[in-house]
Amino acid sequence: MNPVEAYKAECKTRIELQGKNEFLLKASKQFTEETIRAGYSYNFTWMGRPIIQYPQDMIAMQEIIWELKPDLIIETGIAHGGSIIFYASILELIGKGEVLGIDIDIREHNRKEIENHPMSKRIHMLQGSAISEEIIEQVKPFAEGKNTVMVCLDSNHTHDHVLAELNLYSPFVTVGSYLVAFDTIVEDLPADLYTDRPWSVGDNPKTAVHEFLKNNDGFVINKEIDHKLLVSVAPDGYMKRIK
């Protein structure tokens, strides 16, 4: 085995062991819970824009994007624009691809910052409900004819909304690519963490993912990513399309 392949094999072994390490799993759960209470993920930016993601998930997304080199990344939920700028910057390094961001309310100050950003040349935005027929019809031309399309869901985190997104956007994902549902971590946290939100334990992206997979065998959860990251807001949320 050449040195490059040997290193990859070593990584794979380490990741498998991490997924079985009860001490690490307990520590990561405690870290995640306490940092969510502290608003940890709200402290990071990417190229000047708030991204509201954990660095571990950012690394995972970078690895996926670099491997797939997608022609299109669709993300529901724009907020401050950090994520779509992050994805666009990786595509810029690759030298191809575009990002389509969708949000029910693109606030004017955020739109202005995104449109004036150097990465805006690879970004398109649509305003409206991600699960409306009108928006889906607008998305279709962006995905048409693309060889590799991935989808990220990070808007309303209720079970019904995410399940609707999964059903509506999964057909856009090409075989071998990824459908990522963020904030599945809600299911694994104490219910009192989300008293000011409409989602909580039993009603969140992870429950939607598991419901979606009951009726869709074209996607599988990539547990290796979960075992690699340990700290993530998207456990069980990295789904690969296999057929």
Q: Please give the full DSSP string across 61-118, using - where no structure is assigned.
A: HHHHHHHH--SEEEEE--TTSHHHHHHHHHHHHHT--EEEEEES---HHHHHHHHTSG
pLDDT at 222: 98
pLDDT at 184: 98
Q: Which fold does the domain 3-241 belong to in CATH?
A: Rossmann fold (3.40.50)
> Could you tell me the residue ranges of all domains in the chain?
3-241
Residue 160 has pLDDT above 80, yes or no: yes
Residue 165 has pLDDT above 90, yes or no: yes
pLDDT, mean of residues 147-151: 98
pLDDT, mean of residues 186-193: 90
pLDDT, mean of residues 80-105: 98
d(Cα 182, Cα 60) in Å, to the nearest integer? Answer: 12
d(Cα 60, Cα 149) in Å, to the nearest integer? Answer: 17
Strand partners, 72: 98, 149
pLDDT tens track for 27-53: 999 999 999 999 999 999 999 999 999
Phi and psi at residue 176, in whole multiples of 5°? 95, -10
User: Nearest 5°: CA angle at 148, between 242 and 16?
Assistant: 45
Q: Percent of the chain at pLDDT above 90?
A: 96
pLDDT at 217: 96
pLDDT at 197: 87
